[in-house]
Amino acid sequence: MSQPLIIGTRGSALALCQAHMIKEELEAALPDLEIRLKKIKTTGDKITDVPLARVGGKGLFVKEIEEALFRNEIGLAVHSMKDVPTFLPEGLHLAAITRREDPRDVMISRNGKHLLDLPRGARIGTSSLRRQSQIKHLRPDFEIIPLRGNLDTRIKKLGREGLDAIVLAAAGLRRLGLEDRITEYLDPEICLPAIGQGALGLECRVADGQVNPMLAGFNHPATSRCVRAERALLKRLEGGCQVPIAAYAQIRDEERLVLEGLVASVDGTRLIRDGTAGDPEQPEALGLELAERLLAQGADDILKEIYQ
């Protein structure tokens, strides 16, 4: 490849860390290839004073990066899979989904207390309706405080804004070497993760004959199957990353894909959760099957209310 490979990424510390991870692996495999990073500000990065659920729309953290792919300003985009819409623009595709980091949510509390030990009326910071709905379902007495900003900013707000705890993704903290700040890993039984949480998606042009072959070794088959099942569920429910929909798939004994999913009201008073298992070679079919079961149990009514 005579031209340097330009990797597009958001400019946050976590996004840059993730892009550097991919850059370093590519450099190790292709030492003669010049690789540069290009920081791109997305809509989600520009709007920091409004909860993302109120902004609306899909692809808040990927749209501008995809536009740079179309303009040939970059050859590869590195995304957090939980930010990637289920419908990709024609001409672009996910060439690889990387091995998943810990997909769980975690809590950082001001006084070292675990979630169930926090006092009545505790103030919990989170930017996610998915987390909010599950935490309120578990502890209706908690007060949920909208929390935006990068990881460092959110951690600082824990003390500065009088919060008792904040809830974040384990993957980001671990990648940035901040796992020592974690008070508690939240079991998926308590807080089911976001679709694709912990995995990275490598997006490029479908017709790019140079970049696509470079990425073949980055795809982690087990993670890819799990994330595809989760995304199929999300696609059928027509949800975005800011809606209280959660799903988590695991491959067990190398022969069964186990998928759990839920849809909840924002206040947590209604929560529909179910699971299924089947052939890991048919992840999309399992995702669709579970989505239909959730809809049959009333998820459609909850989602209509949220969208209205």
Please say whether the beta carbons of 104 and 187 come within 8 A. Answer: yes
* Burial of 243 per CB tally in 10 Å (0-12, 13-18, 19+): buried
Both structure tokens of 66 = 């995809």
Of 256, 117, 260, the residue nearest 192 (C-alpha): 260
Of 252, 193, 204, the residue nearest 227 (C-alpha): 193
Instruction: Answer yes or no: 187 catalytic.
Output: no
Of 114, 41, 81, 108, the residue nearest 202 (C-alpha): 81
Full strand arrangement of the beta sheet holding 165-169: 143-146, 123-126, 165-169, 105-109, 184-186
Report the distance separating Cα 41 and Cα 218, nearest Å: 25
Catalytic residue among 32, 45, 49, 83: 83
Give the active site residues.
83
